Amino acid sequence: MADGISSFWGPVTSTTECCERNYAYSSYIAEFYNTVSNIPTILLALIGLANALRQRFEKRFSVLHISNMILAIGSMFYHATLQKVQQQGDETPMIWEMLLYMYILYSPDWHYRSTMPTFLFLYGAMFAVAHSILRYDIGFKALSVGLAIGVCARRYHTG
């Protein structure tokens, strides 16, 4: 902790810390800049959601903007507290968001359209349960990389 400031949230329990001094500005916010940098993401997601609704885009795009807001809020809680539970509240929506991107990018060509959302939902739910019980750090990172490669492969395949 910076300069003897005590933490409102207790000791740091997360497995990952970013390169920012903890509690440098407030005893309520561990990583100040990482926390407040999520505010523009929330605002842009709100604007995107309003535009998607106004222009009557497919529901998947509205869900994506809501997902962006959930991810940013989870990230704010995590970086403000540096607690393990909030870290999972940051990491699990990241996986869900990647699954949502997979759905948005792959669904136009998916041959079994009704099974894809069910499969991705169950996959995301199983990850959330396993991650909350096992609390594995390397599993999250490996899955993130794998999903990112899947999203990028689709992006460059259709490019």
pLDDT recorded at residue 1: 47
Q: In 3D, which of 82, 91, 107 has the Cα closest to residue 29?
A: 82
CA distances to 35, 40, 42 from 137, in Å: 21, 28, 26
Long-range own/partner contacts, residues 140-146 (CB < 8 A, 24 or more apart): 140/91, 140/95, 143/95, 144/94, 144/95, 144/98
Predicted confidence at residue 6, as pLDDT, reads 62
Give start and end residues of each alpha helix (H) in 5-109.
32-36, 39-54, 59-81, 84-106
> Please, which pLDDT band fits residue 4 given cuts at 50, 70 and 90?
very low
> The pTM is what?
0.83
What is the model's pLDDT at position 158?
57
Check pLDDT > 60 for residue 5: no
Work out the average pLDDT over 123-135.
87
With CA atoms as reference, report the closest residue to 101 among 64, 62, 127, 68.
Answer: 64
Cα–Cα distance measured from residue 141 to residue 145, given in angstroms and rounded to the nearest whole number: 6
Chain segment 98-125, per-residue pLDDT in tens: 999 888 888 777 776 678 888 889 999 9
8-55 pLDDT per residue, tens: 888 888 888 777 888 889 889 999 999 999 999 999 999 999 999 999
pLDDT in the model for residue 105: 83
φ/ψ of residue 89, rounded to 5: -70, -15
